[in-house]
Amino acid sequence: MRNRSAPFLAACRREPVPHTPVWFMRQAGRALPEYRAIRGTGSILEAIADPERATEITLQPVRRYGVDAAILFSDIVVPVWATGFGVEIVAGRGPVVEDPIRTPADLGRLRPLDPEGDTGFVLETIRRVAGELAGDVALIGFAGAPFTVASYLVEGGPSRDFARVKTLMHSDPATWHGLVDRLAQMAIDSLVAQVAAGVDAVQLFDSWAGSLSPADYERFALPATTRVLDAVRSLGVPTILFGVGTGELLGLMSSAGPDVMGIDWRVPLDVARDRVGPGRAVQGNLDPAACLAPFEVVAEETRAVLARAGSAPGHVFNLGHGVLPETDPGILGAVVDLVHAEGRAGVAR
Amino acid sequence: MRNRSAPFLAACRREPVPHTPVWFMRQAGRALPEYRAIRGTGSILEAIADPERATEITLQPVRRYGVDAAILFSDIVVPVWATGFGVEIVAGRGPVVEDPIRTPADLGRLRPLDPEGDTGFVLETIRRVAGELAGDVALIGFAGAPFTVASYLVEGGPSRDFARVKTLMHSDPATWHGLVDRLAQMAIDSLVAQVAAGVDAVQLFDSWAGSLSPADYERFALPATTRVLDAVRSLGVPTILFGVGTGELLGLMSSAGPDVMGIDWRVPLDVARDRVGPGRAVQGNLDPAACLAPFEVVAEETRAVLARAGSAPGHVFNLGHGVLPETDPGILGAVVDLVHAEGRAGVAR
């Protein structure tokens, strides 16, 4: 376990910090030449299942950027994949499911997760990373929120309009709730084991929740997400809930009880703080595509995010979504330095 | 020109209506068997360039659904295509540009639009449709907003993260503004000619504006959109401005001066009315994917939209984005009947 006072963990708890902490979603990945050098040519799931490679990939961005947190190199479909549900991650496309879930009978193909037996490699990676990190750098574990994992299992792959998943929830709510209940239990079992193995905080990725209307989110996604966060709360580590395009959902998502709400780049952080309400930290929210500009532009945008975050405690700097593969790592390193030097949220003076 | 008191036109002006008017974005298209029967196998641009087919396709949904407005069967890339800029519409993918715009020199490849010479087929379709429509059914013309058209020209096709277009605007604002200025002029020239040929209202599609942060929208997209709406205002027809995922932009978009703000399904209409402010009607916003459910579910969702629209004048019922190809036309017809029977916004009693 890290120092409880590590800047990232303190910011999650809205406590004073020595500097505004920063990490980047997808910081471990294709933007880094040292990642491309050891990633290998097979499926990304093979690299995830190899604790030696996964440990190195998890640590690379900490060395390169000087971020305040490492995030486990893994994927939100790993638990379903590891229990034998047929899913592959196709480069440039995302998770693809050969035989999607469409009927009540399909639920039988999802079996419960045995974290050590099915995903022992994940836990081994966590133990190795935790043993290597300095005490003021936190390790973040994660899981997919039930709606977002379900969207892949029902659509069969990434989707633009989420037509099949919405059709299932609207036309057969019992099967839908059976599906997200199973995925919630799988996320809980995975996160409990991740915390026991040594992660200091967990992020729940509900990446595609923003495709839902508020009414649909409240009825079909929020209950299972709340169940996951309720189960994780007793473990004593901070929780982060994130999705893109969730501006209209922030109040509902906040009601699920995370310590930190992840905010995409569309919602200015001061507006987000109002919608999220008191008692939550916020994480975000530089536009990943803005990081492709010359550094003077990136610096201006970074300062704009810091200004919106204000000086009240409880800001973790991040991008509003994952690092784009074509990002210059030098730019991200300079963003870390700038945030550490100029961030003011909760900085003790 | 239609009757000025046609329900759709009256609702756009926030005047009393005999019933809440309704039409559907992409109502002319793949969901209709009669469309598939005459569409042909070539490029969709060929069908658009054939006034006989385009007229029939434009009229089909009026007959089938009993909607209050027809929308010209065309595409937002038609003006650039018709002036000889290389763009094709690939089935299942969207507009694809062989040689994208990346440098100041590329701007020279965009030449001004001669509406009659380049897009005479569009104007001929408008004249034919206007001659066939009953006086209480309006004809909507349209153009792409400069940002959204530019996104295709710069990205080279549909995009998930809009990385290239954002890179251009941030790193070379002069070229960016040169590009959107040209596209604004093209939209103005097209819309002026469309109104002269007989359309009763125009919609400006800024479909992907929601990918921008509010600060980027205000700086890089809003000025050119405002210029288009300013130029169209003097023509005396109602204007509609629409994009998806624009919850955080509604106030800014409204400041561009449309008569009607199109709202996607993510923002409840009462919330949208607050953000849009007084002096604007709203259009929307049933989730297109909800239309794939059994009709009792669709009816419930339709009534929820009507309830959020309230009874103040100025609501045009629509989907929150385009009709999905797999939609049952019978469902959409039943939605029209339900909206006509139960809509209350501005209904004179």
Question: Does a structural domain hold residue B323?
Answer: no
CA distances to B155, B156, B177 from B162, rounded to whole Å, are 7, 10, 17
Q: Tell me the pLDDT of chain A averaged across its residues.
A: 96
Question: Does a structural domain hold residue A247?
Answer: yes
pLDDT at B103: 94
Q: What is the mean pLDDT of residues B110-115?
A: 97
**CATH code of residue B214:** 3.20.20.210
Q: Is A266 on the interface with B (CB under 8 A)?
A: yes
Tens-place pLDDT, residues B234-273 = 999 999 999 999 999 999 999 999 999 999 999 999 999 9
pLDDT at A349: 67
Q: Is B234 on the interface with A (CB under 8 A)?
A: no
Question: Does a structural domain hold residue B56?
Answer: yes
Number of domains in chain B: 1
Question: Does a structural domain hold residue B133?
Answer: yes
Strand order across the A260-262 sheet: A69-71, A138-144, A201-205, A239-242, A260-262, A281-286, A315-319
pLDDT at A4: 77
- In the Cβ-directed half-sphere of A337, how many Cα atoms lie within 13 Å? 10
Tens-place pLDDT, residues A237-260 = 999 999 999 999 999 999 999 999
Q: What is the mean pLDDT of residues B271-278?
A: 96
- pLDDT confidence band for A278 (50 / 70 / 90): very high
Question: Does a structural domain hold residue A349?
Answer: no
Q: What is the mean pLDDT of residues A197-220?
A: 98
Candidates B68, B75, B189, B206; catalytic one: B75
**Residue A287: is its pLDDT beyond 60?**
yes
Residues in A closer than 8 angstroms to B324, CB to CB, are 161, 163
For B268, which of A214, A292, A304 is closest by C-beta distance? Answer: A214
Tens-place pLDDT, residues B282-322 = 999 999 999 999 999 999 999 999 999 999 999 999 999 99
- pLDDT confidence band for A151 (50 / 70 / 90): very high
Quickly list DSSP for B161-220: S-HHHHHHHHH-HHHHHHHHHHHHHHHHHHHHHHHHHT-SEEEEE-TTGGGS-HHHIIII
**Residue A1: is its pLDDT beyond 60?**
no
- Nearest Cα of chain B lies from the Cα of A174 at a distance, in angstroms, of 14
How far is the C-alpha of A216 from the C-alpha of B304, rounded, in Å? 12
- pLDDT confidence band for A5 (50 / 70 / 90): confident
Q: Is B313 on the interface with A (CB under 8 A)?
A: no
Residues in B closer than 8 angstroms to A268, CB to CB, are 213-215, 248
Tens-place pLDDT, residues B125-183 = 999 999 999 889 999 999 999 999 999 999 999 999 999 999 999 999 999 999 999 99
Question: Does a structural domain hold residue A93?
Answer: yes
Question: Does a structural domain hold residue B338?
Answer: no
Q: Is the dihedral of CA B10, B15, B17, B20 positive or negative?
A: positive
- How, if at all, do strands B260-262 and B239-242 pair? parallel
pLDDT at B22: 98
pLDDT at A348: 80
Phi, psi of B265 (to 5 degrees): -75, -5
**Residue A105: is its pLDDT beyond 90?**
yes
Q: What is the mean pLDDT of residues A65-78?
A: 98
* Cβ pair B287:A166 closer than 8 A: yes
- In the Cβ-directed half-sphere of A76, how many Cα atoms lie within 13 Å? 25
**Residue A27: is its pLDDT beyond 70?**
yes
Q: Hey, what's the torsion of the CAs at A30, A36, A38, A40, to 10 degrees?
A: 90
Question: Does a structural domain hold residue A192?
Answer: yes
Domain that residue A150 falls in: 7-342
- Nearest Cα of chain B lies from the Cα of A337 at a distance, in angstroms, of 21
Residues in A closer than 8 angstroms to B267, CB to CB, are 248
The answer to whether ipTM exceeds 0.85 is: yes
Read off the pTM: 0.96
pLDDT at B349: 67
